Structure 1
Amino acid sequence: MTILATAVPPHAEIARRLRGADFHDCYETAIAPTPLSALELYLKVVAGTPRWVNAMMTLRNRIVRLVGLKNLGALGDTDGAKPASAYRVGDRVGIFSIVYLSEQEVILGDSDKHLNVEVSVCKLPGKVAVSTVVHTHNALGRIYMLFVAPAHRRIVPATLRNARFL
């Protein structure tokens, strides 16, 4: 499976959130035509989270506790018994809450005192794009991103590679 770094899809809802962003990226991969919604694709992506990514999240949670940031849990901490159709805007899905939901795109996000992060899974013809947009709130957010950005650039492609799109 080929994962390409690309521009955020300009027509996607997540593109509206780029203004003033301190960090953003987008990765895409080809997928066969699928009836799955964007949220169903997201759930498949996080279900295949590599163990080393969850280990990094555990380490992250221990470290950031020292400066009063949230313990987010692990990326794949979702309710496997809950169908995607049962989720609504505002619902928690693992480490994020749904902030935008359509058949073609889901945006999930979280805010803390240091930054606001939003992740989009967008169905495009023959591919899926995963975009991340971060707005930092202060110096702590900017320092945090110095460490997280390089890791993020490895985590998203690795997690996409593990996804099992049917």
Structure 2
Amino acid sequence: MRPRRAAVTLPNTWLPGADWADRYEVIVFTSRMTAAEAAWRALGSAPRWVRNLLSFRNRLVPLVGLNATADTRHSDLIASLPLMHSDDSQQVFGYDDRHLHFRLIVDVAEGPADGQIVGMTTLVRRRSLVGWLYLAAAIPFHKAIIPFLLTAVE
């Protein structure tokens, strides 16, 4: 099935001050998986075009005062995102920058007809004009990348 956009409720406990959010979901009818397995399938095998976009982002954002990579001393990494929380139903990745705070939540839940719903929720709290401008520029890419990554969990 194709990923679909889903509703997001704010505030969210993973980023209570978030002022921008979106969520995509896909129903999967393969073997049962944990959130860690879903995250690995989605984020661990990004295609070259996604990796190239993220590499370009990492070269560009220091020019406007954003961190190219976050502090990862206390985390595991998938797709260069610091892991903040992990259990069987959720994995939360993210970082806090002076211009914005970011969370990506990969979750699994029971779905219809013995399927599972795998979702990816993105939360952002913009903290400055640079954060607002960065997110405005990133949204079109985000809306292409996240649904595409979810197709890898099927």
Q: Secondary structure at the match of 2:68?
A: coil
Q: How does 1:15-164 map to 2 (within 5 A)?
A: 15-17=12-14, 19-32=16-29, 34-72=31-69, 90-94=74-78, 95-125=80-110, 126-161=116-151, 163-164=152-153
| Equivalent AA in structure 1 for residue 122 of structure 2 | T
Q: Secondary structure at the match of 2:37?
A: helix
Alignment length (residue pairs): 145
Q: TM-score scaled by structure 1? A: 0.77
Deviation at 1:36, TM superposition (A): 2.4
Deviation at 1:26, TM superposition (A): 0.4
Structure number having the greater strand percentage: 2
Output the aligned Cα RMSD: 2.2
Q: Is the 8 A contact 1:91 1:98 kept in 2?
A: yes
The runs of at least 4 consecutive aligned structure 1 residues that moved more than 3 Å come to 17-20
Q: Secondary structure at the match of 1:8?
A: coil
Change (3 A) 1:93 1:107: same
